[in-house]
Amino acid sequence: MAEGVLVIAEVADGKLNPLTAEMIAAGQRIVGEVGGIVNVAIFGSNAETLAPEAVAAGGDLVYTFAEAQLDEYLTDTYVPAAEMAISVADPAIVLIGQTSNGRDLAPRLAFRLGAGVVMDVTEFSISGGQVSWTRPCYGGNARAVLAVNTPLQIATIRSKSFDPLPADTGRAGDTIPMESGIDAGAVKQKLVSRETAQAEGIRLEDAPVVVAGGRGLGGPEGFKPLEDLANVMGGAVGASRAACDLGWYPPSQQIGLTGKTVSPDLYIAVAISGASQHWAGMANSKNIVAINKDPDSTMVKNARYAIIDDYKNALPALIDEVKKLKG
C-alpha cells in the first residue's frame, strides 16, 4: 500500500541544494503523523556520494540513480526517472522543489501518474491523516488551503518555508542503487546550450544580508551603490522584476513570486514599491529596511525601518556609516 513520502532531491554545484534538506524535514513531519518513511531519490553521476548527505538530513531510504544522462535536467529524462523512483518507493506523497526544474517536472509527472498536484507550498497541517496544503495565490495577496483527493499527491515546496533538521552524520539509513531504464527513443528534447551564471561572491539565497534594487534606481548604474553596500555588509544584490525586465540586472537575481525566495536576516529594499508579487519572495526576511522617496509605498509601510529619501543621497551616506561602524 502506498505510504510515506518521497523527496525528489535536487543537486546544485555538486551538492544537494538546501531545499532538499528542507523537504526532507517537511517529509519527516508528515510521516510522523501519517506513517511510513521518508524516501529520497537522487539523480546524476555522483548520486551515490551524495546519499549520506540525504541520510544525515533525515532521509530514511535513499534511491540513487547514478547515470550521466541525469546530470542535466531535461523533462524527458527526469519524468521517467521520477516515475521509476515512485514505482519502487510507492509513496503516498511526493515532494519536489519549487525551482525552475521542479516547476517543469511536477505538473507533467502529476498528469502522467493521475495525481493531484499542489504547487508552491509554504505550509501544511495534518488532521485525521489528511494533509492540508497552504500556498500563496493571487500574486501573494491571498493564501489557499487545499486537500488532494487522489491516492498519490504531489506537492512542490517553496524554498525557505521549512527549517532543515540539524545534519546528523551518525544517522542510519539505507541506500539502494537504481536504474531509471529511460527509453532513449522517448527523449525528444535536445539541449543545445546552457549558460549558468556563477554568482560572484555569496549566493543570493544564502546571503545573510540582501540589498535589492527596483525601478526607482533609474538605470543599470543605479545598482553600483547597492553592490558597494552589499560588499561592506557581506551581502548579495537582488532586484525587482521591473528592474530585471528593463535589463538593468540579470533575471537570475530577481526576487519574488516568479523569481528567487530569500529570507535573510536583513533585507534592504532600495527604490522598490513593494508589490505583492515582490513580497512573495522576501516576506520571510527577518528585518526589512526600505529606502524610498515615497513614505506611502507599501514597502515603507510594511518595513521594520525606513529611510525616506532619494537613494542617491541615502546610499552613499549609509555605506559611509556602515564602514565607520565596522572600523
Range 220-259, binding another protein (CB under 8 A): 233, 241, 244-245, 251-252, 257-258
Question: Using the rule CB under 8 A, is 84 a contact of another protein?
Answer: no
d(CA 267, CA 204) in angstroms, rounded, equals 11
Residue number, 15 or 143, with CB nearest to another protein: 143
Residue number, 171 or 203, with CB nearest to another protein: 203
Among 99, 153, 273, 285, binds ligand FAD (CB under 6 A): 273
Among 44, 97, 136, 259, binds ligand FAD (CB under 6 A): 259
Q: Which stretch binds another protein (CB under 8 A): 31-39, 61-69, 214-222, 294-302?
A: 294-302
Are 314 and 293 a contacting pair, CB within 8 Å? no
Distance of CA 8 to the CA centre of its chain: 13
Neighbouring residues of 7: CB distance < 8 A, sequence distance ≥ 6: 20, 23, 24, 27, 38, 39, 40, 41, 54, 59, 94, 95
- CA atoms in the 13 A half-sphere facing the CB of 221: 1
Are 289 and 268 a contacting pair, CB within 8 Å? yes
Among 87, 129, 197, 296, binds another protein (CB under 8 A): 197
Minimum distance of ligand FAD from residue 291's CB (angstroms): 6
Considering only residues 101 through 120, tell me which ones interact with another protein, judged by CB under 8 A.
103-104, 107-108, 110-112, 115-120
Question: Using the rule CB under 6 A, is 153 a contact of ligand FAD?
Answer: no
Residue 226: its H or E element: helix 223-233
Question: Using the rule CB under 8 A, is 76 a contact of another protein?
Answer: yes
Residue number, 45 or 258, with CB nearest to another protein: 258
- CA atoms in the 13 A half-sphere facing the CB of 201: 15
Considering only residues 276 through 295, tell me which ones interact with ligand FAD, judged by CB under 6 A.
277-278, 281, 292-294
Residue number, 118 or 272, with CB nearest to another protein: 118
d(CA 222, CA 241) in angstroms, rounded, equals 15
In order, the DSSP letters of 42-100 are EESTTHHHHHHHHHHTT-SEEEEE--GGGSS--HHHHHHHHHHHHHHH--SEEEEESSH
Q: Which stretch binds ligand FAD (CB under 6 A): 15-23, 54-62, 170-178, 238-246?
A: 238-246
